[in-house]
Structure 1
Amino acid sequence: MKSIDIKTYNSDDLFLAETEHSIDEIIANSKNNNEKSIIFLTGVPGAGKTLIGLNTATKRSVTDDEPAVFLSGNGPLVEVLQEALARDSHKRNDITKEAAKLKVISFIQPIHQFRDDAIDNDDVQHEKIVIFDEAQRAWTQDQTETFMKNKKQIENFGMSEPEFLITIMDRQKDWAVIICLVGQGQEINKGEAGINEWFKALNNKFQNWNVYASKDSLDINNQFDNLKINDNEKLFLYSTIRSLDAPNIPNFIEYLLNNEKDKSIDMLKEFNDEYPLYITRDLNNAKKWIKQKTANESESIRYGLLAQSNGLRLIPEGIFVKNNINQKAWFLNETKDVRSSNHLEIPATEFDIQGLEIDYAIVAWDANLRYINGKFEHYKFKGTKWNTIRDSNEIEKNYLINSYRVLLTRARQGMVIFVPEGDDEDATRLSEYYDGTYEYLKSIGIKELKDT
């Protein structure tokens, strides 16, 4: 699957194989005993959650015995997966692209399609197994009710998205399995509920469901007395398979963004020689480095430019984050296509690339997240100026941090962080907005990229 920018699953990876086998056993037991079960598979970014979810759906796509569907609210992920698998099936199976696409969309779908089909009826779904990708991004009750009122003209909907999704599968007369793939610290949109909303729904209305999870990995803020959680350590993926030479990249980024400087320094030493990681003030130099690094690689190598969606003062650097990118072309097309990521012209934001990955990344760091006087400060650009995100607005601050976490954990083989020099003649791009961040990254031990 490398062509779709997700690390190929390797059955020789014992832990991933054990996790998938554990999920298969839960499905088999639920089916044999006519029970309903919900599985929470958690893990660090790049650990293989999406791969296991896709394997679970695809290996059941050839039979109607255990019909399954992989659902995601991540539009770019769905589009890229559908397109990549359809292209691959078209080549391997000697069928038309249209026929291949129809097959693929039967088991990989956008979550809103599944949800909306069940709003005005009590029909029992064909699927017995439903995999919800990035389940932590499901909506709160307030966000769900607002959507239902404004888009579906339904008043007083009364449910969060997790509660409604469980309700749909609870219609099954015999057995059903829900698999929630949960990324830690990756809520990046308003109204995303986190894992708590799922447990709240189960605790209040679905106590008859079996719950499976790794207890140590759960970030649950409340006590759910009505639930018995079956503890399964195989349901937490603790290391990344995205960067095999640097499996601790997600933990390093976590320490970096949490301003845990000493831990960042120590962890960087563990992979500094295996995983090229640089900082630079020169975007052209970063592009030259990546092109030289990949010059002798195959056409399937994928690199690209990434930036945070509110990085609006990157425009003078030639980075316009408000471009509507063609995700299929960005992730899948050849370098000569100007829409391709490899052309290094069109940036992808956290919304475009969450759940996906590339081989090498240039991550542009704007002044919305600044390191000043020993800590990170949070800003949002609106109109003509930067506005401080107040300490009282923890949700918006977390969204900003999470978005940088997403961007900084996308690269499999290497990364350059580009921090602009700034311009003291531009009040929105003063050098002091950027210098502290650059010096902080440098002080951790990230190497400066020399002229290439």
Structure 2
Amino acid sequence: MATYTVVDNKIKIDFHGIKPDATVRGKMKAVKIWWDPDRKIWHGPKNSDTVAVANEICGGTVSVSSTVTPVRRYARIEPAKDYALKIKIKDIIAADKAQLDSWEKELRDYVNEIMGEDNASHDGDPVSKSQESVWINCFKFIASTLNGLDSEKQEFELIFEYSLPGTVHERPDILLVTDKKAISLEFKQKCAPQVDDNKDDVAQAIRYKEWLENHHKVTREKALEVKSYLVCTHKAAVSGSLRGIQILTKSDFLDAIDSELEGQLACSFIDAWLSSMKTEMPDMLQAIEIMYRDGKIPYISDVNEKCLKKVLAYIEDAKTNHKKILILINGVPGAGKTAVGQSVVFEENQGGAANAVYLSGNGPLVEVLQYQINQVGHSEYMGENAIQGMKEFKSGYFSSPTRQNTKVPEQSILIFDEAQRAWDEEKLKRGYSEPEGLFDVGERIYNERNYAVLIGLYGNGQVIYDGEETGLSLWRDALLRHRDWCVIASDELSSELPGLGSRLIEDNDVFLPISLRADFIDCSKWVEQAINRNGSTPQGAKDELAELQKTSMRICVTRDMSKVHTRAREMDVDHPEWKYGMLISNFAEQSVVRRVLPGWNIGWNGANVVTKGEYGPWFAGNCKLLSKACTVYGNQGLELDCPIVLFGGGYIRRRGQWVARGYPYDRQKNKFQDPERIVENNFRVLLTRARKEMILLIPEDPVLDETYQYFIAMGMDELYIQATK
């Protein structure tokens, strides 16, 4: 017999290995109870509908957990630690194999824990054997070379795998910190540093030095001298210097460390140094302020002033009256939610303050915005002061299943971009959801400063990842646990936040109804009619397209890439400032894409897909090369003057209906609760990226014939007709 449980406002139904019949499955899906193939259970949000269905199926009731703020239980209560090991030099020299193995395990456990989010996305791969051998080699190298230090210098401690604040993956192998110095030692089992396109060891050493100098708060406050060395441990390694970084080997490592420690004292503030925050660098914040004011950052000036002023008023009220508030800002695609969030950062950080931070789990968006700021400000780090990746923020301030984090960020206002994509408990793998984690940080902020503000920028219909489909209910669940927080939301969102009573303040000024992306032309109504599987009609799409065609927004369709190149050349002449580029769904089929782009590789890290590290330059102009396509994962929240949306066969018209299909879809669909909605959302994002013009590129593949005819029947111009007008 099936049984169910309710924990933390989530309901789970277990059929104990027996597949429920179609009628039962239909009842569960109707109330958004979905199958989880990994845990072999059905699950969904706890509400009156899901409980009623669970009772009907399971024939009983079950006690539910309280809605008051829960006490999170940890396997072992420990404060969050930002390093793996802190060991005296003398202890490494004296260590036997058992001790080395014990240290190696502590290093492995620490790195696996802080890399948990990445491990989860790569099937939980543990630390590699090669990494373990690097650690053991490092211990042995130190023991064999530093035994020549005098006994006083052997009392200094070495810090292993310290996580630089504000980063996820930046961890110098070893740090040596004294009262006056912070020394980074990066070990390589090589004859010489690698300095090619695949890996630049010297750049890594320079980056650690610059990060400590620019971003490590205690280092800056104490005016520590920062040094960085590369240590090549291969017996054939040769000492030297490259781009200002000294390369040490077995022949001179002892002399270098002995010299660095001469006249130094043990660091009296080591605990404060190890738990240091990332500093926001007031001089950089002032430079960013100037760039915002002068409109040097593209599209940031496109702000709904009414919404911005209302948000700033709520922030001031929180400061004055010591409140905890969540503000949810939503609106049509292109209405400027990002711009409002960025403007709050500007307004609240004036004069070099560090009072607000913009957080985004959208890595490409973070990369592009940071790149734009760095290019304007001629600084490699300026953008990181205004824009931070959510992954880095979680690493610094979220608790883990075994360690409770007590750190408080410098900022009191946390702006969370794309709040609709917040991760649920299963995706986050920390025992709670992303909204709950943000509220926990907010509680710490309030306890220290007597006010806290969370701002969620919420885009409807733009969920594209697994683990993000629960949506607004995650925020409601967190609010139910944190009963002294109030929430400001528009009528559209407030209807999805039942049970909050007087804590819910409805304010339609935080809804952005007009698209700023396309000169105040809102194409979202056409998009909804054109690609929505439910509640739309071909006639509705035709009518909305007719309205768009009365504006300056140009949308056309073609099956011929040569015509796209022709139009690109025209834009280069008529509008040289325009950015255009290829956009593609995450469910596109390579065989279909090759019908119009022969030889293209759009697979994982394929040669014709924009990947990490390329988004900034691509959106800045490389997009116009038309040599790579940017997937939905890379273009959500971003825009082009003329996107070329490539239909790759993953979403097609079949017998008058939209259908999700193809190998990529079949391979990925079990990750999602409603996979067809995810594919639909792909195209909702793709078709709302345009500022001036849009081209639909539909390959000459039979599977897309009906799709092409659908847009032609809608009244859409073919590209060659429009281009020659």
Fold equivalence (TM over 0.5): yes
- Map of 2:434 onto structure 1: 161
Task: Tell me if structure 2 keeps the 8 A contact 1:128–1:175.
Answer: yes
RMSD after superposition: 2.4
Equivalent residue in structure 1 for 2:511, among 236, 252, 255: 236
Candidates 301, 306, 311, aligned match of 1:9: 301
1:265 pairs with one of 517, 542, 556: 542
Deviation at 1:217, TM superposition (A): 4.1
In structure 1, the residue matched to 2:451 is: 175
Q: Say which of 352, 366, 374 aligns to 1:86.
A: 374
| Aligned counterpart in structure 2 of residue 34 of structure 1, from 318, 322, 342 | 322
Would you say 1:248 and 2:531 are equivalent positions? no
- Whether the 8 Å contact between 2:420 and 2:463 is mirrored in structure 1 is yes
Distance 2:493 2:539 in 1: 24
Which of 435, 440, 445 matches 2:705?
435
Check conservation: 1:214, 1:235, Cα contact below 8 A.
Answer: yes
CA distance in 2, matches of 1:296, 1:255: 32
Cα separation, partners in 2 of 1:160 and 1:380, compared to 1, 3 Å: farther
Query: Scaled by the length of structure 1, what TM-score is found?
Result: 0.84
Q: Secondary structure in 2 aligned to 1:411?
A: coil
State the AA in 2 paired with 1:257: I
Q: Is the 8 A contact 2:531 2:680 kept in 1?
A: yes
Give the structure 2 partner of residue 364 of structure 1.
Answer: 646
- What CA deviation, in whole Å up to 9, does each residue of 1:363-398 have, x standing for no partner? 11121111111111111414xxx7499899762111
- Structure 2 CA distance for partners of 1:315 and 1:219, relative to 1, 3 Å: farther
Contact 1:277/1:446 (8 A) holds in 2: yes
CA shift, 1:162, in A, is 1.0
Contact 1:257–1:401 (Cα < 8 Å) also in 2? yes
**2:583 is aligned with 1:306:** yes
Which residue of the partner structure matches residue 355 of structure 1? Answer: 637
- Structure 1 residues without counterparts, runs of 5 or longer: 91-96, 146-156, 334-339, 423-430
What code does the residue aligned with 1:269 have?
A
Q: Offset at 1:116?
A: 1.3
Question: What is the CA-CA distance between 1:228 and the residue it aligns to?
Answer: 2.6
Runs of 4+ residues over 6 Å off in structure 1: 1-4, 388-393
| Distance apart, 1:317 and its partner CA | 2.5
**Aligned pairs for 1:383-394 within 5 A:** 387=666
Counterparts of 1:215 and 1:391 in 2: how far apart (Å)? 34
Contact conserved, 1:188 with 1:402, CA < 8 A, in 2?
Answer: yes
Partner of 2:461: 185
Q: Establish whether residue 214 from structure 1 lines up as the match of residue 490 from structure 2.
A: yes
Q: 1:307 to 1:113 in 2, by over 3 A?
A: same
CA gap 1:266/1:112 in 2 versus in 1, 3 angstroms: same
Q: How much has 1:262 moved relative to structure 2?
A: 2.2
Q: Which residue number in structure 2 is paired with residue 428 of structure 1?
A: none
Note if contact 1:304-1:347 (Cα within 8 Å) is conserved in structure 2: yes
Cα contact 2:357–2:414 (8 A) shared by 1 = yes
The structure 2 residue matched to 1:293, chosen from 571, 583, 592, is 571
TM-fit CA distance, 1:405? 0.9
**C-alpha displacement at 1:263, in angstroms?**
2.0
Instruction: Give the 5 Å matches for 1:404-415.
Output: 404-415=683-694
* Pair 1:377-2:665 in alignment: no
TM-superposed CA distance for 1:218, in Å, is 4.8
What are the within-5 Å matches in structure 2 for residues 37-56 of structure 1? Answer: 37-56=325-344
Q: TM-score, normalised by structure 2?
A: 0.53
Q: Distance in 2 between matches of 1:219 and 1:450?
A: 46
Moved more, 24-33 or 288-297: 288-297
Identity %: 29
Distance 1:390 1:79 in 2: 28
Shift of 1:296: 2.9
Bigger-Rg structure (1/2) = 2
Conserved? CA contact 1:320–1:346, under 8 Å: no
Choose from 405, 408, 423 the match for 1:124.
408
Deviations 1:55-99 (A, max 9, x none): 111233334666110000001111111111121123xxxxxx23x
Residues 409-436 of structure 1: CA deviation (Å, up to 9, x unaligned):
11100011011111xxxxxxxx1x1011
Task: Check 1:396–1:135 CA distance in 2 against 1; reply closer, same or farther (3 A cut).
Answer: same
Q: Is the 8 A contact 2:642 2:690 kept in 1?
A: yes
Q: 1:60 to 1:104 in 2, by over 3 A?
A: farther
Q: Give deviations 1:107-151, integer Å, cap 9, x for gaps.
A: 210011111112242122211001000011111111112xxxxxx
Cα separation, 1, equivalents of 2:391 and 2:424:
15
Residue 380 to residue 165, structure 1, CA distance change in 2 (3 Å):
farther
Match of 1:346 among 613, 624, 628: 628
Gaps of 5+ in 2: 1-291
Q: Which residue of 2 aligns with 1:320?
A: 601
Answer whether contact 1:40 1:212 (CA < 8 A) is retained. yes
Question: CA deviation digits over 1:326-373, x for unaligned, max 9?
Answer: 11110114xxxxxx1011110001111111101011111121111111
Residue 436 of structure 2 contacts residue 475 of structure 2 at CA under 8 Å; is this kept in 1? yes
Q: What does residue 313 of structure 2 align with?
A: 25
**Equivalents in 2 of 1:262, 1:394: separation in Å?**
30
Alpha-carbon contact 1:256-1:264 (below 8 Å) kept: yes
CA distance in 2, matches of 1:179, 1:186: 18
Q: Which amino acid aligns with 1:161?
A: E
Tell me, in whole angstroms, the C-alpha distance in 2 between the residues paired with 1:348 and 1:444. Answer: 27
Contact 2:571 2:578 in 1 (8 A): no
Decide whether aligned partners of structure 1 residues 227 and 166 sit closer, same or farther in structure 2, where only a CA change above 3 A counts. Answer: farther
Aligned with residue 715 of structure 2, among 441, 445, 452 = 445
Residues 494, 504 of structure 2: 8 Å contact kept: no
What CA distance in whole angstroms lies between the structure 2 residues aligned with 1:110 and 1:328?
A: 14
> 2:574 aligns to what SS in structure 1?
coil
Instruction: Supply the AA of the counterpart residue of 1:262.
Output: Q
Give CA-to-partner distance per residue, 1:252-290, whole Å, 9 cap, x none: 101111242222222212220421110111122122113
Query: Which is worse superposed, 314-323 or 117-126?
Result: 314-323
Which AA in structure 2 matches 1:321? I
Correspondence 1:395 to 2:674: yes
- Number of aligned pairs? 405
Matched residue type, 1:20? L
- SS in structure 2 at match of 1:130: strand
User: Are the aligned partners of 1:40 and 1:179 in contact in 2 as well (CA < 8 Å)?
Assistant: yes
Aligned partner of 1:153 in structure 2 is none
